[in-house]
Homo-oligomer: A and B are copies of this chain.
């Protein structure tokens, strides 16, 4: 959708390019007229400039021209030609200046690529010409003195690197939000895992709408410190965490694209999209397909009227634009099937066996064949879904599989029979749920104890705009409430108003954007064991994404930073600020690397030892 790639990904690819050496020179030089024509066409194809230009010595051999055209397509930039590999000439200089991205404002603006000169990939230019470009302030990747076909091979390695498969330590599928029912997406490296997994890798890759880390929140002037950051979570960058399968990192973005990156290098393997609406979920991978759903948080005015006239009781349909579930080939990114919905499909679906389940803003849970997208059944949930991703529990006594999801208006947690679509139980709770409450948040399941954990904002005070956040546990078989705990009052947070819980070793770990504090609760009693005030949360609040437990450390991504906490006490061991800001993002840990994405539209890989030096 938004072709504003910040910089070229695949740094490693470039290294291999630089390493190549050799010689080349054939064919007559291009005439200045042909150079001028290339410049004209570049300006038409990229009227507001580009972030990358491929500049080719016109006498380069066919294989180099092949490489140039593929590289340009990969970088979304034009190919320009030089009349002479040793000097640029006025036409080329003019063309390059036309490709600079104009500055349009003092403040950062959404989906606006940073102003400046394009990066230049110089093919077959002499070092004098390269030096000239550098002297004029261009960042140049010199691809000169290459043997015939060497450039094409190197570019091919960069644009089409091998797609990993069956990587030790990585799961081979990812069938529910945050990597499993407990939301603890941690995958230790097994004996014999490659060094990069056990040591950890460090890279960051921009997506199409990437915002520089140095920049303010987009549209801060209009939105302010309270709304600007969460607006990013909803409308720019990555809303929730990444997926790690078979050595590939998958990330969904509000830039309407799904990204597949090499977990070792961060190289973009492929990009699928644009989709019909923003992608705010956690990609699911099963049986060679990757599933992503598209939707938005909006309502048309007719729904306001309906809501008002009914005194807030009428069933609403959430979702302004089109909504759909996509299945792409997990290795190639090729579209396999797509199913459109009434109402949004923001929440991450869930895959059980060969069935994929999607709750929608239309208030239905759709069951579809994972292979074909064919609709098996549709069950009305009695409320609409917002960002509540379903979870799954298998009842060993009844042998029934339950798809468990939260709904808004009415605010319920609902368990649906995965095979028949019949509702097994509905839990309205006796809590004064506020706003989209339960339909926003993804329930957590402890399969061993058969417990469902959910939380919602409650007890809204219209007078002063404060509310509380309640965490509660339900019997997974019956929906019966086991306990509920208030985590404290504060200003009702903008946008996503809950924290995703993670359960491990009889402890519930959950944050509250109401108090910008992170908590540990006893899973059987709901008693608060400890709390950790999240630094740098800011007026937008923090604590929406869930923490994970690895190497005896609790890892939390909140606001701009990542925290290593003592899981027993909540004491901060260390913190690390990688750049950007996290939305509803949970860390994903494979071996000793943490994989994250953020609201600035970047995907990051960080060695655990960089976050917590004590581990080293």
State the A residues within 8 Å of B (CB).
1-3, 26-28, 30-31, 33-34, 37-38, 40-45, 47-49, 58-63, 65-66, 68-70, 72-74, 78-79, 81, 102, 104-105, 109-112, 149, 152-153, 155-156, 159-160, 218-219, 221-223, 231, 235-236, 256, 269-272, 274-276, 296-305, 307-309, 311-312, 316, 318, 320-322, 324, 328-329, 332-342, 386, 408, 435-436, 462, 494-495
Given contacts A34-B149, A69-B69, 17 further A-B contacts (CB under 8 A): A3-B274, A27-B61, A27-B62, A33-B149, A44-B160, A62-B65, A66-B81, A69-B78, A104-B335, A104-B338, A112-B276, A221-B340, A296-B320, A297-B298, A297-B300, A299-B303, A308-B308
CB distance from A292 to the nearest CB of B (A): 13
Looking at the assembled complex, report how far the CB atom of A224 sits from the nearest CB atom of chain B, in whole angstroms: 9
Is the beta-carbon distance between B66 and A73 smaller than 8 angstroms?
Answer: no
Whether the pair A47, B340 counts as a contact (CB closer than 8 A) is no
Establish whether residues B73 and A45, one from each chain, have CB atoms under 8 Å apart when the complex forms.
yes
By beta carbon, the residue of chain B nearest A45 is B73
How many angstroms from the CA of A252 to the CA of B508 in the assembled complex? Answer: 51
Q: Which B residues lie within 8 Å of A311 (CB)? A: 308
Contacts of A337 in B (CB 8 A): 104-105
Judge whether B47 and A102 touch: CB under 8 Å. Answer: no
Q: State the CA gap A102–B327 with chains docked (Å).
A: 12
* Least CB distance, A456 to chain B, in whole angstroms: 14
A297 to B298, CA, bound (A): 9
Across the interface, do A111 and B322 meet the contact criterion of CB distance under 8 Å? yes
> B65 touching A65 by the CB < 8 A rule?
yes
Judging by beta carbons under 8 Å apart, are B436 and A44 in contact? no
Question: Is the beta-carbon distance between A340 and B109 smaller than 8 angstroms?
Answer: yes
CB contact between A299 and one of B47, B298, B340 (< 8 Å): that residue:
B298
Please judge, given known A-B contacts A297-B301, A320-B298, whether A79 and B66 are in contact too, CB under 8 Å.
yes
Q: How far is the CA of A59 from the CA of B63 in the complex (A)?
A: 9
30 interchain pairs, CB-CB under 8 A: A27-B61, A34-B66, A34-B149, A38-B70, A44-B74, A44-B269, A44-B270, A47-B328, A47-B333, A47-B334, A48-B334, A48-B335, A65-B68, A66-B81, A69-B69, A69-B79, A70-B78, A104-B338, A218-B322, A219-B340, A221-B340, A222-B340, A296-B320, A297-B298, A301-B386, A301-B408, A301-B436, A307-B308, A308-B311, A308-B312
Q: Which residues of B contact A328 (CB under 8 A)?
A: 47-48
Contact of A298 among B26, B296, B436 (CB under 8 A): B296
B301 touches A435 (CB 8 A): yes
Nearest neighbor of A65 in chain B, beta-carbon distance: B65
CB of A96 to closest CB in B, whole Å: 15
Report Cα–Cα, A53/B69, bound state, in Å.
Answer: 12
Please, how many angstroms separate the alpha-carbon atoms of A3 and B38 in the complex?
22
**Which chain B residues lie closer than 8 Å to A236 at the CB level?**
322
Write the chain B residue with the least CB distance to A360. B222
Q: Which B-chain residue is minimally distant from A222 (CB atoms)?
A: B342
Cβ of A102 and Cβ of B222 under 8 Å apart? no
Contacts of A462 in B (CB 8 A): 309
Specify which of B44, B274, B276, B296 is in contact with A109 (CB 8 Å cutoff).
B276
